[in-house]
Structure 1
């Protein structure tokens, strides 16, 4: 089974809360349990394996600051564009879609997802080419927002914009 690693307390907590498939959580063996008590309770109630490991083990998994917490999770899935449009149309509400082109820095995408989630954006669209994918760095930078906002990857942004216009966007 393919998996990715996410690091950081907020990213791991949000992955658990959102129901994302988590294979195992790694906790730095020197961390004070009070600092991660909420994560431990959530992991226990969701029957997720928690393993205490040396700091060097988590350091080797990511270049990002990890706050003593990492998790092996299933890869992030992209939302289906057509299903998203149909769902928004069925809800019969004015929805906001953010379209990003040429965004290659994963930290920027994570920050944009965090801001989009806080601003009430309903979905984010990125192109399949010339754009960063949903990675552990994006997850860390988004501080959990990646779990709340659908991200769609499309082949042709011009056609996507036309489809959105045809559907009242």
Structure 2
């Protein structure tokens, strides 16, 4: 597991994505990337986060920053999620959990006294050279996208 600290190399990945094909972090070299890890398609907070990033995409585009959402859900589920909410950000599928583990966001969680493994909602801002610029852990969705956009604009 990589240590998610500013200045560290962001782990590269190539994963299947919504709409078919694959998406790779290295394919964005030369451009900053916002990688947002979320637990599950079509759940309340995850839907809100994906819709917020979609709504802000023109602002990220204007700042020259790419957006990628990533969860362990299969591509078919991503396709339904994108269609249902007209999402405009690419969603990568990590069913093997390798990338989620490489970024240290696959963690033990607990709900209603039950512990289970799942994605800790985390956003990582990666600079144009592939280094981690900023990390937001245990993200609270409300207002989060604005904070990420402000940080991205400073790169």
Give the TM-score, by structure 1 length: 0.37
Comparing both structures, which one devotes a greater share of its residues to strand? 2
Comparing both structures, which one devotes a greater share of its residues to helix? 1
Higher RCO by CA contacts (8 Å cutoff, separation 6 or greater): 2
Give the TM-score, by structure 2 length: 0.40
